[in-house]
Amino acid sequence: MGHSAAVWDYKAATEITKDWNGIDKVVLRNPGGASARVSLHGGQVTSWRNEQGEELLFTSSKAIFKPPKAVRGGIPICFPQFGYCGSLEQHGFARNKIWTIDENPPPLSPSDSHGKSFIDLLLKPSEEDLKCWPHSFEFRLRVSLAADGSLMLISRVRNVNGKPFSFSFAYHTYLSVSDISEVRIEGLETLDYLDNICQKERFTEQGDAITFEAEVDRVYLSTPNVVAVLDHERKRTYVIRKEGLPDVVVWNPWEKKSKSLVDFGDDEYKQMLCVDGAAIEKPVTLKPGEEWTGRQELSVVPSTFCSEHLDLQSNGF
């Protein structure tokens, strides 16, 4: 049974416990019974459940829950580099680090806190990080769960260095789907994309919507702030709203690549799809003292709701 949002104690609905590696994990709950789980390993969201308790994010049955490698699933944070587009390891180091709880973060707008269970995390570079990426930063991540069950991630990266630096970024979002061949993405049609399978060659999307029948590994450019992922079989649509994140990564490894991933089941590509709000093509540059904010909100609506009521051209928030 759900509780009334008016009397819900949002602070008490945020519980911090240890995982089996002794690393803190945070569970957020809302009055309706939805929940989200965030690990301090990587600042990674590892679970997001609706009011019926159904898991909405994919995690591989072969996932390795042993730091430093990020868990295969949930929402790893790719920072300060997406993919191999720089000198760092694939997707940067943030997803492999232990974050801390930020007890006193600089304020966000009241609407980012009111009626939400949330946790604020912080990552600062270690000596070792500074050797391979010599830029001092403060990365603040707020993860919040709203009364309607939507999940919001707000990243704030501040340059606390004496010199400018640039980075790329992605919320590497593993959505759980019923059957990849029954899924389509709306909102990316007619856009240009860089194809990671063809040495980042630039193409223009031709179809009415994106569907899947082979490996897809693309960075869609200058995307709208709202994108929808329709899962026909489950009659469920994921709505991704974003801000400060011009690109969208779409990834499904399909059959052959799945077999090459040690922490991923051979057939699991059928049950997942990564759709990531990202800033990749044009890296973000911060001068000393400057801060960047990138937001991504995930919500779920019944599929019938989508085409009629969702304005995919709208401004996101």
Q: Which positions touch ligand BG6 (CB under 6 A)? A: 83, 90-91, 172, 196, 217, 249, 251, 274
Minimal distance, residue 69 CB to ligand BG6, in Å: 9
Instruction: State CA 169 to chain mean position distance.
Output: 10
Query: At CA 87, angle to CA 82 and CA 92, rounded to 5?
Result: 35
Minimal distance, residue 127 CB to ligand BG6, in Å: 24
- By beta-carbon proximity to ligand BG6, the closer residue of 120 and 276 is 276
Instruction: Output DSSP code: residue 208.
Output: S
Minimal distance, residue 18 CB to ligand BG6, in Å: 25
- By beta-carbon proximity to ligand BG6, the closer residue of 91 and 295 is 91
- By beta-carbon proximity to ligand BG6, the closer residue of 186 and 247 is 247
Task: Return the structure tokens found at 22.
Answer: 């002794």
90 is in an annotated binding site: yes
Phi, psi of 184 (to 5 degrees): -140, 150
Task: Return the structure tokens found at 106.
Answer: 């600089």
202 is in an annotated binding site: no
- By beta-carbon proximity to ligand BG6, the closer residue of 120 and 129 is 129
Angstrom distance (rounded) from CA 138 to CA 277: 20
Q: Tell me which amino acid residue 41 is.
A: H
Instruction: Output DSSP code: residue 80.
Output: S
Q: Which H or E run contains 28?
A: strand 24-29
Do 31 and 23 touch, CB atoms closer than 8 A?
A: no
72 is in an annotated binding site: yes
- By beta-carbon proximity to ligand BG6, the closer residue of 28 and 249 is 249
Minimal distance, residue 251 CB to ligand BG6, in Å: 4
Kindly report the length of the chain. 317
Minimal distance, residue 209 CB to ligand BG6, in Å: 20
Which amino acids are annotated as binding site for substrate, given as ranges? 72, 90, 95
Q: Which residues are annotated as a binding site?
A: 72, 90, 95
